[in-house]
Amino acid sequence: MFPTDWEWKGEHWHIARNLAKHHYAYLLQLPLVLHLPSLHTLVVHAGLLPSDPSRSANDANQPLVEASHSTTSPNYDASLARPSEELTLLLDVPQNTHPWNLMNMRSVYVSGKHQGEVTKSSKKGNPWSDVWKKEMKRMGAEHDDQENAGTEDQEDAEGDELEDQERRDAADADEEGDLQCSPVTVIYGHAAGRGLDIKPFSKGIDTGCVYGRQLSALVIGDISGLKGESVRVGDAQGVLVSVECGKGGT
């Protein structure tokens, strides 16, 4: 037995066939998401959602809405509460609890009969990073990062569905500044077709090395002597460093 979307004796079949048992056991022990509390950042292979799109943006069960309400408590301590607010996105957004989603998500349906479902397609639904950006803006959060610009036609097509959802939510909430909790950044890959996708609070760094393009790394910490695009991650400054790849990612 093997996954239905694998090709018999295809690339993934051969990788699994030749994988040693101890390597397989090691992979099973690895986390699907890394939490970096000091940077207020989550690292994931493909994507995450900031809320459950099948519910209203202001539903009391949405993790960030619940976290926002807790900030009004006289005993609220941001330094203690913020890490748990970040983790609740992993535990309380249903779509983020499924390993397949974390490893394959490129887009999400925000309306229609598939509302709330994620997809690995880049041509269906809306890029999850756009949904993430919209939710972070509800906290009044902005960064100085320069966003990558796609073609106008592509942006218009991808934005139509998200705009429909925004109009529905507008009756319940202002688009910016209505959440009092703090923003979270996501670093991810798995979207080589979009290339570098640097947005406020989401950093897509898959530049298609396996297709012979580039291998990119986001370096945070000691960046002295490094040359590359400056990228802010949480409260830290990072640098994007890229190198050319040969055929097949060599």
Q: Over the stretch 130-144, which tens digit does the pLDDT of each residue have?
A: 999 999 999 876 554
Predicted pLDDT of residue 142: 58
Confidence of residue 148 (pLDDT cuts 50, 70, 90): low
Among residues 46, 41, 55, which one has the least CA distance to residue 110?
Answer: 55
The answer to whether 53 and 93 are in contact (CB under 8 A) is no
| Whole-number percent of the chain with pLDDT over 90 | 61
Among residues 22, 102, 73, 37, which one has the least CA distance to residue 236?
Answer: 37
Give residue-wise pLDDT tens across range 12-38: 888 888 999 999 999 999 999 999 999
Predicted pLDDT of residue 144: 46
Strand partners, 214: 244
pLDDT of 54 higher than 80: yes
pLDDT of 238 higher than 80: yes
- Residue 74 backbone phi and psi in degrees, to 5: -65, -20
The answer to whether 122 and 191 are in contact (CB under 8 A) is yes
Predicted pLDDT of residue 203: 97
Give residue-wise pLDDT tens across range 65-81: 999 888 888 888 888 89
Q: Is 110 exposed, middle or buried (0-12, 13-18, 19+ CB in 10 A)?
A: buried
Counting DSSP H helices and E strands in the chain, the numbers are 7, 11
Confidence of residue 163 (pLDDT cuts 50, 70, 90): low
Cα separations (Å) of 245 from 66, 161, 209, 211, 213? 45, 36, 5, 8, 5
Mean pLDDT across 89-115? 95
Predicted pLDDT of residue 175: 53
Q: Is 228 exposed, middle or buried (0-12, 13-18, 19+ CB in 10 A)?
A: middle
Predicted pLDDT of residue 246: 87
Mean pLDDT across 147-174? 46
Give residue-wise pLDDT tens across range 176-207: 568 888 999 999 999 999 999 999 999 999 99
The answer to whether 33 and 44 are in contact (CB under 8 A) is yes
pLDDT of 150 higher than 50: no
Cα separations (Å) of 85 from 66, 93, 98, 190? 9, 12, 19, 25
